[in-house]
Structures are given as C-alpha cells and as structure tokens.
C-alpha cells in the first residue's frame, strides 16, 4: 500500500454523520464479538472523512477509545502507534476516538503532537460513536473485520493497569486477535475487560438538590484541589465545572472504591492531622450529584477560589530553591528505569535550620517518588538504607508538605551535601525532567526542638517464591531521652502488603500507633499525628511488614524468585521511618535517636535479646564479628559495640 492510499484510508473516525443509532441517548450496551456494527461516516479532526462501508474502507479496523488525560490511555495511544506501523502493509487501520465531554479538539491535537501519533484522531461530540459501540472506558479497543463484524473487544494488553506497570505484557490480547483474523481464524480470546478511565459522557441534569456550584466545589477545595489543579501532580483539574463535569462518573467510581483521596490508614487506630479519607456524608454528596446528572447549579453559589501563595504546596514560598540537576534528565518512552542518584551542594557554610521542605517535580507524569538525604560532604554510600538522622524530605504523589510545629525544625549541618534518589516511570513517550527542592528556613534562636527522622529497619528479609503472606518485624533504637513523635512513614516496594507501627514501652508493653491493612507502593504517605505523642526514655518503635510474593499480586514482577533487600523496585525494603522532636539542650546539634552502636545492635538482634549472636550475623561480616567479640563468647553486647565504635575514625 503506498502512502497516498494509506492516508486516504486512514482519514477516518470522529464525527458521526449518519442516522442516529438506536442506542444513542440510552445506557450503552457494549457491542459483543460476532455482532455487526452499523454503517457510519467518521471525520478526522484534521478534516478528512471516510465511510465505514465501501471500497475505500476495506481494511481491518481497530477502533480505539482514548482520553487526553487518562494515564492508561497515554500509554496505549503509543502502543497503538506501534501496532499501526507494524500492520500498515497488511491493510490494518487504527483509529483513535475521543468521546469524553471534557476533551476539546485543541487538547486532542496537543495529545497527537506529544505522543507523535500518525493514525487518525477524532472528537466524538455527544459520545455518539461511543454509544454506537457501547464503549465504557479509555482505553478500550474494538477489532472489526472487513464486513464490520466485531472480532475482538476489550484491552490492548495487560502491561499497564490501575497502579500497576509490568516490564512487558504477559497477554497481548489485541495483537493475538489481530493475527488470528488475518489468518482467517477465530480469536482464541475474543473479549476482555477494559481497564482505565470511564468515558465522560454529557449528562442531563435531573434535579438541583446537589450542585457543583453550591456543594461539590467546596468538597473539592477541601479534599482534592491541592493536587487537582494546574501545575500539580494530578492528571486533570477540578477547579471549574467545565473541567469537572466529564469526570463525574469516574470520580464516583474512585471514591466508592476508596482509591481517592489516597488514604490507607485503618481509621480505628490513631488520629492524624492530614487524614484525607472521605466521610460517609461526603461520599453521599458525590453519589447524589452524579445521580442527578452532575448539575452545575447557580454560579452565584460559587465560593471564592482557594488561595495558594505560589506554585509550591508549602504555605509559604521557599526562601531557598535548588535545582536537583543542572540539565533535564531524559526519560525513555518504555521500560523500567533504575533509580537515579544526584548530589547537590546547597552551599551552607553554617548549620541551617529548615521549617519545611518540598520537592517539586519538573514533570509529574514521570516522577514516581523522590527521597532526599543529607550527607557529610565526600561521605561514602548513598545513605538511603534507613540510617536515621540524614533523611530530609520526600515527594510521592498525594503527599502535601507541611511546616513543622512552631519551635521545631530539621538541621542541615554546615558543609553537608544533599543526595537525591529519583524514581522515574515512563509514560509511553520520551520525556524530560528538571526537578527542584524548596526550603523554608527558620531562625536558629527560635528553635526549641530538633526534628530527626529515625527508623525501624530489618534488612534480613528473605521472601520465599510464591509466598502470599511473608511477615517480618523491625525495631528502632531505644530513645535515650524523652522525645515527641510527630509522623510515621512506612516504606516497602511492589510486594508490600500491609504495615503497622507500635510503641514499645521500656517495660515491653505495645501500643498500636498505625495500621496500613492494604499498603500501596504508589502512595507512600506520611501519616502526621494529630497531636505530638510523648515517647518516654527507653521506649522504641516496633514495625511489622507483610509481603505478597504470590501470582495473585498484580504488582509482582517475578513471583518465582526469592526476594531480598535492595533499592530497586523489584527488590524489597522494610523501613518504618518516623519523625521525632528532640529538645535542644546540652546535646544541641546531635541528630541521632540512640547511639550508632545501639542502632547496629537493634538491627542485627533477630531474637530481641539485646545481644548479637554469631548466627545472627551474615557470613561476610563474621571476621568483623570475631574482631568485636573480644572475650570470644560468640556474643556481642552493647558495651562491646560501644568500645569498638569509639575506635573508629570520626
């Protein structure tokens, strides 16, 4: 097929010009495999049109319903481009249809340019084509043969799902069906469940009981708009009715499934100032609004727009803003990107106190998370394995940075450098990122407490293949003095299943602090206590982590493997970070929660008997064990550790 013929055949789909189909205006019913799709004429956003029947429309047809702001549609729009190029000479045409009420022609053209798409794209006004097919989600594809009989409908493949990205697809459903039809056979799998965003159809208002202008926008301002506004992490805005109306059904779905707002704590344990979960009455407001047709209401009822002092989420504009990299970091279109590490010298020649810190991604579409640690200049190692004292700040989607309570701040030592761990996730097209960190400073004379991030860690995890519920515990060092607990931040990777914190008193009694019954690697939230909790001297934090290495875990990259500690997402970690406020005094400037020797003891003492025994030490560390064990009793006490630590160079 020459290019002229190809483009003549490809200028398809968008505006339905034929007699309305009987399904239009009713609840759509998906056209099933084996059914014929009635004749229609479609028009590309760039002008041309073609009939679905006739000599000029003889190709096999892949009809793909897409959305400009749907994360999964972005991935699969690019995948469909590859399919279009691969099968072009075999007379297969791909067409993208945009049926969302909120997708404008201008946005569709921007989508085309961003993802470098050459197949036809169309604006489906009134969702008439979507109604004809009974399409419900983006992305959702229909494969039509030359007689315009549906031979396959559903997902493209299983690589990208809600919150899940596999290295490669395990089931290439569309391509398998396409090859079968080209070979004159019936596809082995003719139908799959589409996964993605609900198509935002125009709704007919049925009443004015709950309206956007009076109730819903106020709920959005309280719960959603910190992220769902221009320049922030969320994929679409909710600041106006025009922006929100097409997402009404999708909003109802994610709220019902507790996917939004992101909050994973068990409400029965602990109280947190940043608790974002919706109460039953708030959920009912959304249900009532959607059931009424998502009415706008009287614009006179609109509240004042929520005020933000700057593009930063912090309540004040940072005084110090640092680029994490000098040049943009290139992110490939596909594949898994290993963690990237960058070093920044903030140029602080004296101790600097920080009331608040915020990491601002340059490209929210590809930045999954960022961790930043302080480190002595020229120090060895990344300092990212849970060692307390050096953790400064983090970015994860949904995390709203806050200032520390009055009189409390973190300290960046004079001459220290900042080490950034960047986790990038490709989104289907080549991207670049140029991220920043902003710091709000505190006057040293105002500081009464130093905020330190400590942790309960256990690096000796060993998750067996196919284990559905492997658990492991970890303890923090014991507090050397009375401190205040401010926040809890659990950290695991893709096999993380559940995580809990408890306070262990000096007498050994346990008090639950936080339970995450369904941990989600995509939302590594900081749980800030509603009121600081006093931790007595001699107490410590116990954490318990559960992991799912089974095939039932959709995030699991390799259930057949034994999983051990490692920084990449296909490895695992067990870190229970927590913030404490230490009163300043004679030990001002000290940033440890327990001595270094006590940290080592805590992390190697598997049976929690306050002694490190030979069998608790990895083989590679046995020579060091024998060096520290001066009396040769095959045990190391805290006193022996402290004597050894004093001999180390400072």
The domains of the chain are located at 3-198, 212-301, 326-598, 599-650
The yes/no answer on whether domain 326-598 falls in CATH 2.60.120.230 is: yes
Q: What is the pLDDT of residue 184?
A: 94
Q: Say what the pLDDT of residue 386 is.
A: 38
Phi and psi at residue 578, to the nearest 5°: -155, 145
- Is-same-fold flag (3-198; 326-598)? no
Is-cis flag, bond preceding 285, omega within 30? no
Distance CA 281, CA 285 (A): 6
CA angle 537, 540, 543 (to 5 degrees): 165
| 3-198 is classed CATH 3.40.50.10140 | no
Are the C-beta atoms of residues 98 and 135 closer than 8 Å to each other?
no
Q: How far is CA 159 from the centre of its chain?
A: 16
Contacts of 174 (CB under 8 A, 6+ apart): 62, 83, 141, 143, 152, 155, 156, 157
In the three-class reduction of DSSP (H, G, I as helix; E, B as strand; rest coil), residue 160 is classed as strand
> Consecutive sets of 10 residues in the chain, 650 residues long: mean pLDDT of each?
38 33 47 84 66 60 95 93 94 93 92 92 90 95 94 95 81 97 96 94 77 95 90 88 91 92 94 92 94 93 89 92 96 86 95 96 90 81 48 85 94 94 86 96 95 91 97 91 94 96 95 96 90 94 97 92 91 94 67 53 64 77 77 78 60
Whole-structure pTM value? 0.77
Cα→Cα distances 149→34, 38, 57, 89, Å: 6, 9, 13, 21
**pLDDT at site 311:** 86
pLDDT of 27 reads 47
pLDDT at 308: 84
Contact 214, 297 (CB under 8 A): yes
The pLDDT score that the predictor gives to residue 593 is 52
Structure tokens at 506: 């000096």
What whole-number distance in Å separates Cα of residue 455 and Cα of residue 578? 6
* CB-based contacts of 438, cutoff 8 Å, min separation 6: 312, 314, 317, 318, 320, 321, 322, 357, 358, 359, 360
Q: How far apart are CA 178 and CA 87, in angstroms?
A: 9
């Amino acid at each position: 097929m020459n290019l002229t013929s190809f483009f003549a055949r490809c200028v398809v789909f968008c505006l339905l010009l034929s007699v309305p189909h009987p399904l239009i205006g009713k609840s759509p019913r998906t056209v099933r495999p084996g059914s014929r799709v009635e004749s229609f004429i479609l028009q590309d956003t760039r002008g041309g049109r073609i009939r679905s029947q006739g000599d000029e429309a003889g190709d096999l047809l892949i009809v793909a319903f897409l959305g400009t702001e749907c994360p999964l549609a972005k991935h699969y729009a690019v995948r469909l481009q590859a399919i279009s190029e691969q099968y072009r000479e075999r007379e297969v045409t791909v067409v993208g249809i945009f049926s969302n009420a909120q997708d404008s022609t201008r946005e569709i053209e921007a989508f085309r340019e961003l993802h470098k798409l050459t197949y036809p794209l169309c604006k489906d006004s009134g969702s008439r084509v979507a109604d004809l097919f009974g399409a419900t989600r983006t992305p959702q594809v229909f494969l039509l043969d030359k007689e315009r009989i549906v031979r396959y409908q559903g997902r493209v493949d299983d690589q990208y799902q809600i919150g899940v990205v596999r290295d490669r697809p395990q089931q290439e459903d569309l391509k398998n069906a396409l090859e079968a039809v080209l070979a004159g056979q019936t596809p082995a799998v003719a139908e799959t469940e589409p996964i993605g965003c609900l198509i935002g159809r125009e709704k007919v208002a049925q009443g004015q009981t709950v309206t956007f202008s009076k109730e819903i926008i106020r709920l959005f301002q309280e719960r959603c708009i910190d992220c769902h506004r221009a320049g922030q992490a969320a994929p679409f805005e909710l600041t106006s009715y025009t922006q929100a109306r097409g997402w009404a059904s999708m909003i109802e779905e994610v709220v019902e499934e507790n996917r939004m707002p992101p909050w994973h704590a068990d409400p029965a344990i602990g109280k947190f100032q940043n608790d974002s979960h919706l109460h039953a009455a708030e959920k009912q407001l959304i249900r009532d609004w959607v059931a009424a047709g998502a009415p706008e209401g009287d614009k006179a009822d609109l509240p004042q727009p929520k005020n933000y002092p700057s593009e930063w989420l912090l309540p004040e504009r940072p005084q110090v803003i640092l680029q994490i990299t000098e040049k943009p970091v290139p992110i490939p279109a596909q594949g898994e990107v290993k963690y990237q590490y960058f070093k920044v010298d903030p140029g602080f020649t004296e101790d600097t106190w920080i009331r608040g810190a915020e990491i601002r991604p340059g490209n929210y579409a590809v930045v999954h998370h960022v961790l930043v640690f302080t480190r002595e200049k020229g120090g060895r190692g990344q300092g990212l394995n849970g060692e307390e004292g050096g953790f400064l700040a983090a970015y994860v989607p949904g995390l709203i940075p806050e200032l520390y309570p009055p009189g409390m701040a973190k300290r960046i030592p004079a001459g220290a450098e900042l080490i950034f761990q960047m986790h990038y996730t490709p989104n289907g097209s080549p991207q670049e990122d140029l991220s920043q960190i902003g710091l709000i400073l505190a006057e040293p004379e105002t500081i009464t407490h130093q905020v330190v991030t400590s942790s309960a860690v256990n690096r000796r995890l060993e998750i067996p293949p196919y284990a559905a519920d492997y658990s492991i515990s970890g303890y923090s060092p014991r507090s050397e003095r009375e401190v205040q607990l401010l926040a809890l931040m659990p950290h695991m990777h893709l096999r993380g299943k559940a995580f809990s914190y408890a306070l262990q008193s000096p007498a050994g009694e346990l008090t639950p602090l936080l339970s995450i019954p369904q941990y989600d690697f995509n939302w590594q939230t900081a749980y800030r206590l509603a009121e600081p909790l006093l931790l007595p001297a001699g107490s410590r934090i116990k954490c318990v982590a559960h992991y799912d290495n089974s095939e039932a875990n959709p995030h699991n990259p390799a259930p057949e493997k034994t999983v051990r500690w490692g920084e990449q997402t296909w490895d695992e970690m067990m870190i229970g970070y927590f913030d404490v406020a230490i009163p300043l005094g004679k030990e001002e400037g000290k940033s440890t929660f327990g001595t270094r020797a006590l940290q080592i003891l805590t992390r190697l003492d598997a049976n929690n008997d306050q002694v490190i025994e030979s069998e608790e030490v990895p083989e590679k560390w046995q020579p060091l064990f024998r060096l520290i064990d001066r009396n040769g009793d095959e045990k190391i006490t805290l006193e022996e550790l402290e004597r050894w630590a004093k001999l180390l160079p400072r």
